[in-house]
């Protein structure tokens, strides 16, 4: 059942260029959906339009099939968790959690019951009489989340709620939020610029860039099959290695010393074409010298315990790539190491707009590839 639908949603200010281009999206009841992208891409603006805090310039917002473009925020039956917690410093935890429930004409007994239930769920039962200044950052975030939960709204919006927390606490809160969402069965729309949060929390996600939806899908689908070069380099840590290359029937030319087989059977036989070649760090492999695609110079090594990140120069000093290998590898700066590329895991993108031309799971180039290469 479709719970929230964005149909041709657009946003502009003073009639100028759209800051949000046309967004079309359907969310199912109980889905955890993440809007992810770099700062300034428009994800918080979309969330605020859904909440009724920003007017919609064009298109429609539907909630349970009802058009809500002009409905005030208090009529949209949703809750929202802000980045800065938005707690009242003069109220204690209990009062903050229950704040606003009286406007819904809920009895005092029911308010107390909901508060106790949310506090127990979030580990706040021992802090109900404390003021926000007496709490840690993680505890304050839990209070803000509890305040959203007690409303029992079927739709919850979260605007970068974990960005002010340290890394260890963020990891724990990611798990807690996801478990609570599953337990309550609410639809959640979550905004973040952290692709790790998006990958680990989302049922589905939308990648945004400069107000445009670059790709919508499940996290692993997007990771394994990015639709364009921006998505490929944004999702994944470390990011996908992408560099300029030339392609012709003789092969893919990454550098004067490195030519790979050309998998695109329909490429033009006359001239080389400029493309973008992409491969993820885990698909660059250590090789025996006689089987190597290239010999590269190490510029940095990061041993993380269970894995090692090796930064190396592919062609010139400006073209630094990263390989990720399991285990602990000891290399010194300046070492020359042989590598090979997993040709079953490469991506080719158009040079102009970064559109996907070919991936190894396709036997033939797509239509865009044929247009670029003919």
Check whether residue 149 and residue 200 sit in a common domain: yes
- For the chain, the distance separating the N- and C-terminal CA atoms, rounded to the nearest angstrom, is 44
Domain boundary among 228, 248, 274: 228
Check whether residue 142 and residue 30 sit in a common domain: yes
- Cα–Cα distance for residue pair 59/61, rounded to 1 Å: 7
Check whether residue 74 and residue 191 sit in a common domain: yes
Check whether residue 79 and residue 215 sit in a common domain: yes
Structural domain span for residue 169: 2-228
Where do we find the tokens 């975030």? 141
- Cα–Cα distance for residue pair 328/273, rounded to 1 Å: 39
Check whether residue 126 and residue 101 sit in a common domain: yes
Check whether residue 85 and residue 213 sit in a common domain: yes
Q: Write down the pLDDT at residue 266.
A: 55
Domain boundary among 181, 202, 228: 228
Q: Write down the pLDDT at residue 44.
A: 94
The CATH number given to whatever domain includes residue 132 is: 3.40.50.300
The CATH number given to whatever domain includes residue 310 is: 2.40.50.140
**Per-residue pLDDT tens digits for 264-297:** 765 555 567 899 999 999 999 999 999 999 999 9
Q: Are 262 and 247 in contact (CB under 8 A)?
A: yes
Check whether residue 157 and residue 257 sit in a common domain: no
Where do we find the tokens 């364009």? 228
Check whether residue 69 and residue 88 sit in a common domain: yes
Check whether residue 103 and residue 153 sit in a common domain: yes
Check whether residue 33 and residue 134 sit in a common domain: yes
Check whether residue 189 and residue 269 sit in a common domain: no
> How many separate domains does the chain show?
2
Tell me the whole-structure pTM to 2 decimals. 0.89
With 0-12 CB in 10 A as exposed, 13-18 as middle and 19+ as buried, what is 335? middle
Using DSSP's 3-state secondary structure scheme, residue 335 falls into coil
Q: Write down the pLDDT at residue 363.
A: 46
Domain boundary among 228, 247, 263: 228
Check whether residue 46 and residue 188 sit in a common domain: yes
Residue 138, Cα to own-chain centre: how many angstroms?
Answer: 22
Spell out, as residue ranges, where the chain has pLDDT lower than 70: 265-271, 316-317, 361-374
């Amino acid at each position: 059942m479709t719970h929230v639908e964005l149909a041709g949603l657009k946003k502009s200010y003073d009639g100028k260029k759209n800051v949000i281009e046309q967004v079309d999206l359907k969310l199912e009841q109980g889905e955890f959906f993440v809007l992810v992208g770099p700062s300034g891409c428009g994800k918080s603006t979309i969330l605020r339009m859904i909440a009724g805090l920003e007017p919609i310039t064009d298109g429609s917002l539907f909630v349970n099939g009802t058009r809500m473009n002009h409905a005030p925020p208090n009529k949209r039956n949703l809750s929202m968790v802000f980045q800065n917690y938005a707690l009242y410093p003069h109220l204690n935890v209990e009062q903050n959690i229950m704040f606003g429930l009286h406007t819904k004409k809920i009895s005092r007994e029911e308010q107390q019951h909901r508060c106790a239930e949310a506090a127990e769920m979030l580990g706040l039962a021992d802090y109900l009489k404390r003021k926000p200044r007496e709490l840690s950052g993680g505890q304050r975030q839990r209070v803000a989340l509890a305040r959203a939960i007690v409303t029992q709204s079927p739709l919850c919006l979260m605007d970068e709620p974990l960005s002010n927390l340290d890394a260890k606490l963020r990891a724990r809160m990611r798990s807690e939020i996801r478990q609570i969402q599953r337990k309550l069965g609410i639809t959640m729309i979550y905004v973040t610029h952290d692709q790790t949060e998006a990958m680990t929390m989302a049922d589905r996600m939308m990648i945004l860039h400069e107000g445009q939806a670059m790709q919508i899908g499940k996290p692993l689908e997007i990771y394994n099959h990015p639709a364009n070069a921006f998505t490929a380099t944004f999702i994944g840590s470390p990011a996908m290695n992408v560099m300029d290359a030339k392609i012709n029937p003789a092969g893919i030319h990454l550098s004067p010393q490195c030519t790979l087989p050309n998998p695109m059977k329909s490429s033009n036989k006359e001239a080389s074409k400029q493309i973008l070649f992409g491969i993820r760090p885990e698909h660059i492999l250590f090789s025996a010298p006689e089987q190597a695609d290239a010999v590269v110079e190490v510029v940095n090594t990061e041993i993380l315990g269970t894995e090692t990140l090796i930064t190396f120069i592919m062609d010139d000093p400006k073209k630094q790539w990263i390989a990720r290998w399991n285990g602990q590898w000891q290399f010194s700066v300046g070492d020359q190491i042989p590598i090979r590329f997993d040709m079953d895991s490469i991506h080719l993108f158009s040079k102009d707009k970064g559109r996907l031309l070919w991936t190894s799971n396709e036997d033939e180039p797509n239509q865009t590839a044929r247009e670029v290469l003919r």
